[in-house]
Amino acid sequence: MAQFQSLQEAVRDNLRDGDTVAFEGFTHLIPHAAAHEAIRQGRRDLTLIRMTPDIIYDQMIGMGLAKKVVFSYAGNPGVGLLRRMRDAIENGWPRSIETVEHSHAAMANAYEAGAAGLPCAVFRGYRGAGLKDVNPEIRSVTCPFTGEELAAVPAHRPDVAFIHAQKASRRGDVLVEGIIGVQKEAVLASKRAVVTVEEIVDDFDDLHPNLCVLPHWTITSVAHVPGGAHPSYTHGYYERDNAAYLEWDKVSADRDLFMQWMKTNVLEKAPDVFAERVKGL
Amino acid sequence: MASITDFTPNEMMTIAASRALSNDDVCFVGIGAPSAACNVARLTHAPDITLIYESGTIGTAPDVLPLSIGDGELCETALTTVSVPEMFRYWLQGGRISIGFLGAAQLDRFGNINTTVIGDYNKPKVRLPGGGGAPEIATSCRQVFITMKQATRGMVEKIDFYTSFGHGEGGDHRRRLGIATQGPTLLITDLALWKPDPETKEFTVVSLHPGVTRSQVQDTCGWTVRFAERVEETPPPTELELTTLRELQARTERAHGGKKGS
């Protein structure tokens, strides 16, 4: 049953050192405020799962929170590379990290399998691809009916998922719309789920019945954080702050500049700054 | 007004790529040159082409090029937007996509693509972003088109990592791996159009862009280039094509504050 909490409380109660955690959002609705709270609370030894690690994992890896990253595209979308993640992989700074690399199709299928309560995902993938030679979690099964060889990967089963969404009702039901990514699957695959939302409304009585809604009993905690996806965006509320993504390329290129930026913009701030950041977008 | 005698190799590449697309195509679009080419096609000769981005947007028609595969405008202008698992399972794996459009950091003569690492995987010289959707785009779309700016650093004898499988070692290698789709059928560079040899599957130059010489193509390619028996000259951009591309990029630049999205 969803509890309404401050983001500080939600992170404190749901994310523990050593956890396997997914902060999801496919370009849209990336839970930046939640990731910043995790950084402020200084969680350690996390296994981070995410299709496109994006700026938030670049920041968490750069601050030394991660011991392992499971991913399928380590880029700053539309801009270039994730420089903090690269520094950890290439130079072990600030610590070395283990990586488990997949394709998007594998990651999406692994979340879906997790949500479906299956031990693994089966799909037609990785044919001729090099990843299956470097990732021992990519195996194959033979279809018992046709004899076709198919790829198999273990289901994602995070301890906790963090997502951002448009609305929660007073009961704690959550509405996600626009590019809905893999968030529903990430929530249903996880033991606990924390959702930050732009807005809390009385009920969802006037909504179209086919909208993507996660019932309150699938959610552990809801935190009201307007602007909580910035510099990603929330469809219907504010646009993607492309300039911030471009700026990150410069900030993340230098270790000292990065540490200074994190101090000023994350460590010394609280979740309420996000509402200010999306004004005018 | 754009002059058709004055265009850059990059513009020629994008326009040549756009010409390869037709109105009936359902195209899985990558960011960068593929996205520019697909949208020029949509704004010129293929107004009904279906563009799909891996974020889940189906039948999208953006006014500016997206900076990422999940920009809001892709969703706002799409016929429908589906979840990412559905995109990969029903639409891509389900065989609904006619063309997959990919770029490459490293490419070999058989259309195998590396966007993962330069150097050894476990001790990379350069860690690149990785495959994202590409490993399955390369095997599930009916055909694959590749765009690439020619450089000996990128067009190499042997790629460091098989992110996306093209024709492997050539010949019937795809079939032997149980891949039923055609794979790379066209390579569009800033200098030439290349098609695979029907037997060996090695990319062969079939058309040189205006003013480009054979030695320019060879000097910017890391393998010994094969030319088709008859090499055509790519028609230069028309005024409509060039104006459409430049206006699209100018709108994009204004929208993204200096970043072209291509």
Residue pLDDT, tens place only, B168-225? 999 999 999 999 999 999 999 999 999 999 999 999 999 999 999 999 999 999 999 9
Supply φ then ψ for residue A149, to 5 degrees. -85, 130
Residue A147 identity (one-letter amino acid): G
Extract long-range pairs of A143-149: CB within 8 Å, 24+ residues apart: A148/A124, A148/B178, A149/B178
Name the residue facing B81 among A73, A101, A179 (closest C-beta).
Answer: A179
Q: Is residue A98 within 8 angstroms of chain B, CB to CB?
A: no
Cα distance between residue B168 and residue B111, in whole Å: 8
Peptide bond into A231 cis (omega under 30): yes
Q: Is residue B198 within 8 angstroms of chain A, CB to CB?
A: no
Mean pLDDT value of segment B148-168 = 98
Closest C-alpha to A8, from A263, A223, A202 = A223
Cβ–Cβ gap A180/B31 under 8 Å: no
- DSSP character at residue A88: H
pLDDT of residue A44: 97
Q: For residue A77, list chain B residues with Cβ-Cβ distance below 8 A.
A: 31, 67-70
Residue B30: pLDDT band with limits 50, 70, 90: confident
Residue B256: pLDDT band with limits 50, 70, 90: confident
pLDDT of residue B67: 85
Cα distance between residue A138 and residue A125, in whole Å: 10
Residue B157 annotated in active site: no
Q: Is the pLDDT of residue B1 over 70?
A: no
Residue pLDDT, tens place only, A148-181? 999 999 999 999 999 999 999 999 999 999 999 9
Ramachandran bin of A62, using left for φ above 0, alpha for ψ from -120 to 50, beta for the remaining angles: alpha
- DSSP character at residue B90: I
pTM of the model: 0.95
Closest C-alpha to A172, from A208, A222, A212, A210 = A222
The predicted complex's ipTM stands at: 0.95
pLDDT of residue A178: 96
Cα distance between residue A154 and residue A151, in whole Å: 10
Q: For residue B70, list chain A residues with Cβ-Cβ distance below 8 A.
A: 26-28, 77, 179, 181
Cβ–Cβ gap A178/B75 under 8 Å: yes
Ramachandran bin of A64, using left for φ above 0, alpha for ψ from -120 to 50, beta for the remaining angles: left
Cα distance between residue A14 and residue A128, in whole Å: 40
Cα distance between residue A138 and residue B144, in whole Å: 24
CB atoms under 10 Å from CB of B226, counted, come to 13
Residue A256 in 3-state DSSP? helix
Cβ–Cβ gap A180/B81 under 8 Å: yes
Residue pLDDT, tens place only, B74-87? 999 999 999 999 99
Name residues of chain A where pLDDT drops below 50: none
Q: Is residue B177 within 8 angstroms of chain A, CB to CB?
A: yes
Name the residue facing B85 among A82, A182, A233 (closest C-beta).
Answer: A182
Residue pLDDT, tens place only, B105-139? 999 999 999 999 999 999 889 889 999 999 999 99
Q: How far does the CA of residue A41 sit from the closest CA of chain B (Å)?
A: 29
pLDDT of residue B262: 42
